[in-house]
Amino acid sequence: MSMGRARDVRGVRGVRVDGPAGASAALRPRLLGRSTVNVVVAVSVLYTLLPVLWLVLAATKGSDALFSSDLLSFRDFALFSNVRALFATDGGLYGRWYVNSLLYAVLGAALGALISVACGYAFDKYRFRHKEKLFGLVLAAVMVPQTVLALPLYLMASGTGVVNTFWAVFVPVLFNPFGVYLGRIFSQGYVPDEVLEAARVDGAGELATYAKVSLRMLVPGVVTIFLFQLTGIWNNFFLPLVMLSDQHLYPVSLGLFTWNSQASVTPDYYPVVITGSLLAVLPLIVAFALLQRFWRSGLTAGAVK
């Protein structure tokens, strides 16, 4: 919707840009302005892309080429041996970490997104006492630093005996108050109240209506929240650092952190950490690319309100 309007705006401005081009005096600064704009944007894109490009090139190099800063030559193409070394280091821990990260992130984000959307939907469609106060509490939860919660969560986890298990990381990451906020906005935008009224007139149960009708309309919202949470959990570093001591339960982020600390002592770890970092970036890029259609619309809905 807003996309269409934006295209119109650009059309109008396009006319304006080409319109009064008769006077060359007025044309020159405009051309200058145009190229300045393009140069600024190009430099910014280089700023964001070059470090990633460095990571890609560095992952294809053996240690010698890496330390001679000889990145652009293809004499020493060692990507495959690097990957082999990566999965062989410390008895194949990296593969384990990768699977752990996928489990924490994909399962956690899927379940978390469903929980958040259900709650956001209920906030939008039902009325009850103190609703806005309760919603305020949800919003307040967004800004509480993770470091504040870490010690009590650790003590609770060790009290119940789940510390240093899968659940110690998995359960807290399900909590996503910002997802509830987004869920409420998406529910306002995607599920018209008339649909619910019609379903009630037809005698459909509330929960059946949610599962069969509303949830389908909310799919773009669910996917957006899923992606946000997937990124969040994949990036999560603090909670596993606090909760886990068994290296076999580590996610990739924490594993690379420990390997990097060894790299300053044993430089052999540098190529392994670099290759491991490159592989750890791939799932999110794949997820963003595959689900592009959804999160673009979702992001717009979240930003404009």
Partner 1 sequence: MTPEPAGPAPAATGAGHRSDHSSEEAGDTSMTTTAPWPAAGEGRAPAAVPAPRGARRTARRRALGACGVLMTPFFVLLVTVFLIPVATAVWLSFFGSDEPGLGFGPERTVFVGLRSYAAVLTDPTFLSGLGVVALYCLLYIPLMVLCALVLALLLDSGVVRLRAWAQLGLFLPHAVPGIIAAIIWLYLYTPGLSPVIDLLGRAGVTVDFLGIHTVVPSIVNIALWSNLGYNMVVFYAALQAVPREVVEAAVVDGAGPVRTALQVKTPLIRASIVMVAMFTLIFALQLFTEPMLLSQSTPMISSRFSPSMYIYDAAFNRNNYGLASAASVVLLVCTIALSYGVTRWTGRLDARSVPDEQQEAAV
Q: What CA–CA distance (Å, rounded) separates 235 from 132?
A: 31
Please tell me whether residue 28 binds partner 1 under the rule CB under 8 A. Answer: no
- Contact (CB, 8 A) for 114 and 222: yes
The single residue among 98, 177, 226, 249 that binds partner 1, judged by CB under 8 A, is 177
Per-residue contact string for residues 145-164; x = within reach of partner 1 by CB under 8 A: xxxxxxxxxxxx--------
247 or 300: CB nearest partner 1 = 300
The least CB distance from residue 237 to partner 1, in Å, is 5
Q: What values do phi and psi take at 60, rounded to 5?
A: -95, 5
154: helix, strand or coil: helix
The single residue among 85, 175, 247, 291 that binds partner 1, judged by CB under 8 A, is 175
The single residue among 125, 165, 291, 294 that binds partner 1, judged by CB under 8 A, is 125
DSSP 113: H
The single residue among 18, 25, 51, 202 that binds partner 1, judged by CB under 8 A, is 51
Tell me which residues in 191-250 interact with partner 1 (CB under 8 A). Answer: 193, 196-197, 200, 205-207, 210, 231, 234-235, 237-238, 241-242
**Of 40-48, 73-81, 92-100, 218-226, which segment contacts partner 1 by CB under 8 A?**
40-48
- Contact (CB, 8 A) for 189 and 301: yes
The single residue among 83, 106, 141, 291 that binds partner 1, judged by CB under 8 A, is 141
Please tell me whether residue 129 binds partner 1 under the rule CB under 8 A. Answer: yes
The least CB distance from residue 280 to partner 1, in Å, is 6
The least CB distance from residue 119 to partner 1, in Å, is 4
Distance set, CA 243 to CA 170, 205, 254 (Å): 11, 42, 11
Please tell me whether residue 40 binds partner 1 under the rule CB under 8 A. Answer: yes
Q: Quote the longest CA-to-CA distance of the chain.
A: 78
Please tell me whether residue 128 binds partner 1 under the rule CB under 8 A. Answer: yes
Other Cβ atoms within 10 Å of 152 Cβ, number: 9
The least CB distance from residue 45 to partner 1, in Å, is 4
Q: What CA–CA distance (Å, rounded) separates 274 from 222?
A: 33
Tell me which residues in 95-114 interact with partner 1 (CB under 8 A). Answer: 107, 111
Q: What CA–CA distance (Å, rounded) separates 292 from 298?
A: 10
Q: What CA–CA distance (Å, rounded) separates 101 from 169?
A: 11
Q: What CA–CA distance (Å, rounded) separates 128 from 108?
A: 29
- Contact (CB, 8 A) for 79 and 55: no
